[in-house]
Amino acid sequence: MAADRHQAGLKILEKLTTDAYQIQEQVLEDILNRNAGTEYLRGFLNGQCDKQHFKKNVPIVTYDDIEPYIHRIANGESSDILLAEPVTGFYRSTGTSGGQPKLIPSTAEKDKGALFQTLMGSVMNKHFGDLDKAGKSMQLLFTKPEIETPSGLLATTATTSIFKDSGFRNIVSMRYTSPIETIFCSDINQSMYCQLLVGLIQRDEVVSVGSIFASAMVRAIKFIEDHWEELCYNIKTGHLSSRISDSGCKNALSLIMKPNPDLADSIENICGCKSWEGIIRKLWPKAKYIGAVATGVMSQYTAALDFYSGGLPLVSSAYVCSEAMCGINLEPLSKPADVSYTFLSNMAYFEFLPVKKDCLTMFLDQVQFNSVARQESKEMMSSIEAIEPVDLVNVEPGQCYELVVTTSAGLYRYKVGDILMATGFYNNAPQFQFVERQNVILSIDAEKTSEVDLLRAVTKAKALLDPLGFLLTGYTSYADTSSTPGHYILFWELKMKESNDMKEPDPKIMVECCSSMEESLNYTYRMYRKENIIAPLELRVVKQGTFDALMDYYVSQGASMSQYKGPSCIKSKQAIKILDSRVMGKFFSVETQF
Ligand code: AMP
């Protein structure tokens, strides 16, 4: 039965990738036929709904452009101002607009999500065999309470809506170690504690471990480090700690827990070891892989997970956003840095806006940096924006693109905000590596540092600490412009590989880390430093647990634990306060030679 389902899944995959062009044309035709009469599209299409008209007249937009329509629907106007099919709710994406989560309309359509899951399952089955038959998955999954908009429509995260669906509820107890009540517990610490406890109790049945994004998996290991004695005590006695007050969790765990001193002893022996290298494989010896997205900004967690994994493959299986399900990884065993996602032609109408990043960098590197060059670079930027988008099947390997989607849920030529690089094709469907979010995260004067620039700089600098036994477990940044000239501040949380006791890092090396980061940042940054338009970069080392406190803060402010990605840059005063109150040492770059 399952084998047939997986075979059928692989066949569908062949069709979706082979007939990518025809399917994309059909997807667009269907969307336009259904929605050309909406207030939004009418204004651009004038009743005509062919592709040429669409491409010529419908503008490429960002969330801010369509926000007024979304707010009107959220405030009670009929959703047919934007799309013909009724809006049944909103997804709250992690992207923000003016500090608020973006609201993405959702409809009753479930087929695409179910098909996407089936296809991912078929690919995993091809590489790892029928793991559903072999045991359960310890997936750490979290939800967010729904928020009611004035129209009465509910807004929730895309992951919460999947877990609420009866399709998921029907299979959860067969496939996953976590009871549904622990996934829906609104206190993330109680939820994490209970999910790990049941994962440990069922450790011999666990055939895979994971979370949606790698950040939650790293947090889970740190959580076990802090609580393993208590977890073992619960396993030994069969009694749940009184810290768990959530009635759903208590009821669910009472059905699973019974005294098991032998199991508690084995886990105690593993966790009591000085080094936690390979702890995941030791705790879950039958696990075949760790499933957690570790590409893009999540790549900062790969070193920590490689250390803890004991050689288990780290699988990034899909590229999905609240706006659209986009692509799956057909080679789950490839290393995170080599992962490409194959786009599925039936999920949305995809367009790709070429990004001439390299061209711009070369340009800035070649010219003498002065105000004329600055002006020219601005003009060049605007000419880049005038470049036409290309269709899914026409992308060129090696080229970077900004993703633009048109969906059946009311997004028309909408920029998701992600930059992807085409790497090749599977049949006629292109494959992409995730490059970065199209957002400048740090900026002083005209200097703009992107998430990926910062990640590159941090990766290079932290290599200086590797031989000394330090692991970087979290970082973030902010542009401090309270004094002139302003400067960038990086917060790093470190941990010793071989022990839980934290050694003071050598100040000389930390200063070298600062200089290394400065050397890796972009041309404009280096020029501004030379001219003292930007002051020396500062590195603040924070106490262990700081990034957990930061995650707690963001979750308390409405972020979803499942979709939490750890901000590469912080603007909230409260969040900066949390970091600043835990600083152990401050270091500045001094002798950077540009
Ligand atoms: P959300 O809107 O909260 O659903 O988050 C979607 C965003 O998460 C995407 O636009 C990407 O920036 C990021 N994302 C999703 N999947 C991946 C992936 N496989 N690799 C890197 N980033 C991803």
Report the 3 state secondary structure along 291-334.
EEECCHHHHHHHHHHHHHHCCCCEECCEEEECCEEEEECCCCCC
CA 584 to ligand 1 centroid distance, Å: 32
CA 12 to ligand 1 centroid distance, Å: 24
Give the domain extent around 307.
136-141+176-285+287-315
pLDDT of 383 reads: 44
Within-domain flag for 442: no
Claim to verify: residue 66 and residue 78 sit in the same structural domain? yes
Return the residue matching tokens 């389902």. 5
Nearest CA to ligand 1 atom 13: 321
Residue type, 229: E
Within-domain flag for 156: no
501 Cβ contact partners less than 8 Å away, ≥ 6 residues apart:
none
- Is residue 95 within 6 Å of ligand 1 at its C-beta? yes
pLDDT of 446 reads: 64
CA 296 to ligand 1 centroid distance, Å: 8
Within-domain flag for 153: no
Q: Which pTM was predicted?
A: 0.80
- Is residue 564 within 6 Å of ligand 1 at its C-beta? no
CA 545 to ligand 1 centroid distance, Å: 25
pLDDT per position as a tens digit, 88-135: 999 988 765 544 678 999 998 878 888 999 999 999 999 999 888 889
Whether the pLDDT of residue 379 is over 60: the answer is no
Claim to verify: residue 304 and residue 342 sit in the same structural domain? no
**What's the rounded Cα separation, in Å, for the pair 338 and 352?**
21
pLDDT of 365 reads: 37
- Is residue 94 within 6 Å of ligand 1 at its C-beta? yes
Within-domain flag for 129: no
Claim to verify: residue 398 and residue 470 sit in the same structural domain? no
Whether the pLDDT of residue 363 is over 60: the answer is no
pLDDT of 364 reads: 37
**What's the rounded Cα separation, in Å, for the pair 430 and 114?**
22
- Is residue 416 within 6 Å of ligand 1 at its C-beta? yes
**What's the rounded Cα separation, in Å, for the pair 193 and 450?**
35
pLDDT of 68 reads: 95
Return the residue matching tokens 């004329």. 372
Claim to verify: residue 241 and residue 180 sit in the same structural domain? yes
Which atom of ligand 1 lies at the shortest distance from residue 316's CA? 19
Count each helix (H run) and each strand (E run) in the chain, helices first. 23, 22
pLDDT of 198 reads: 98
pLDDT of 408 reads: 94
pLDDT of 359 reads: 36
pLDDT of 373 reads: 39
- Is residue 246 within 6 Å of ligand 1 at its C-beta? no
pLDDT per position as a tens digit, 9-50: 999 999 999 999 999 999 999 999 999 999 999 999 988 889
Claim to verify: residue 388 and residue 472 sit in the same structural domain? no
Among candidate residues 276, 296, 315, the one where a domain is terminated:
315
Mutational pocket test of ligand 1: of 62, 90, 94, 441, the residue with most ligand atoms within 8 Å of the beta carbon:
94
The SS3 of residue 89 is strand
The SS3 of residue 351 is strand
Whether the pLDDT of residue 265 is over 70: the answer is yes
- Is residue 70 within 6 Å of ligand 1 at its C-beta? no
Claim to verify: residue 458 and residue 584 sit in the same structural domain? yes
The SS3 of residue 191 is helix
Claim to verify: residue 8 and residue 21 sit in the same structural domain? yes
Q: How confident is the model at residue 593 (pLDDT cuts 50, 70, 90)?
A: low
CA 434 to ligand 1 centroid distance, Å: 9
Claim to verify: residue 406 and residue 472 sit in the same structural domain? no
Mutational pocket test of ligand 1: of 319, 330, 438, the residue with most ligand atoms within 8 Å of the beta carbon:
319
Whether the pLDDT of residue 374 is over 80: the answer is no
Which atom of ligand 1 lies at the shortest distance from residue 94's CA? 3
CA 518 to ligand 1 centroid distance, Å: 28
Annotate 533-561 with three-state secondary structure. CCCCCEEEEECCCHHHHHHHHHHHCCCCC
CA neighbor of 426 nearest in space, from 16, 23, 5:
16
The SS3 of residue 384 is helix
Which atom of ligand 1 lies at the shortest distance from residue 158's CA? 4
Average pLDDT over residues 166-194: 93
Q: How confident is the model at residue 591 (pLDDT cuts 50, 70, 90)?
A: low
Within-domain flag for 123: no
Claim to verify: residue 382 and residue 480 sit in the same structural domain? no
CA 271 to ligand 1 centroid distance, Å: 33
Mutational pocket test of ligand 1: of 104, 338, 418, the residue with most ligand atoms within 8 Å of the beta carbon:
418
For residues 191 and 182, the answer to whether their CB atoms sit within 8 Å is yes
Q: How confident is the model at residue 498 (pLDDT cuts 50, 70, 90)?
A: confident
Average pLDDT over residues 251-255: 96
CB atoms within 10 A of CB 496: 16
Instruction: Name the more confident of 385 and 562.
Output: 562
pLDDT per position as a tens digit, 124-161: 999 999 888 889 999 999 998 888 999 999 999 888 98
Among candidate residues 264, 299, 315, the one where a domain is terminated:
315
Within-domain flag for 25: yes
CA 317 to ligand 1 centroid distance, Å: 12
Within-domain flag for 116: no
Q: How confident is the model at residue 357 (pLDDT cuts 50, 70, 90)?
A: low
CA neighbor of 21 nearest in space, from 321, 349, 323, 342:
349
Instruction: Name the more confident of 341 and 446.
Output: 341
Count of domains forming the chain: 3
Claim to verify: residue 294 and residue 356 sit in the same structural domain? no
211 Cβ contact partners less than 8 Å away, ≥ 6 residues apart:
139, 140, 141, 217, 220, 291, 292, 562
Average pLDDT over residues 521-543: 89
Claim to verify: residue 297 and residue 344 sit in the same structural domain? no
pLDDT of 145 reads: 86
Average pLDDT over residues 557-561: 81
- Is residue 35 within 6 Å of ligand 1 at its C-beta? no
Percentage of residues in the chain having pLDDT higher than 90 = 67
Query: Taking all residues of the chain, what is their mean pLDDT, rounded to a whole number?
Result: 89
Among candidate residues 437, 471, 501, the one where a domain is terminated:
437
Cα-Cα-Cα-Cα torsion 90, 93, 95, 97, nearest 10 degrees, comes to 20
Whether the pLDDT of residue 371 is over 50: the answer is no
CB atoms within 10 A of CB 387: 12
Mutational pocket test of ligand 1: of 159, 321, 339, the residue with most ligand atoms within 8 Å of the beta carbon:
321
CA 404 to ligand 1 centroid distance, Å: 14
For residues 450 and 96, the answer to whether their CB atoms sit within 8 Å is no
Claim to verify: residue 493 and residue 505 sit in the same structural domain? yes
CA 321 to ligand 1 centroid distance, Å: 5
Nearest CA to ligand 1 atom 6: 321
Within-domain flag for 348: yes
462 Cβ contact partners less than 8 Å away, ≥ 6 residues apart:
303, 470, 472, 492, 513
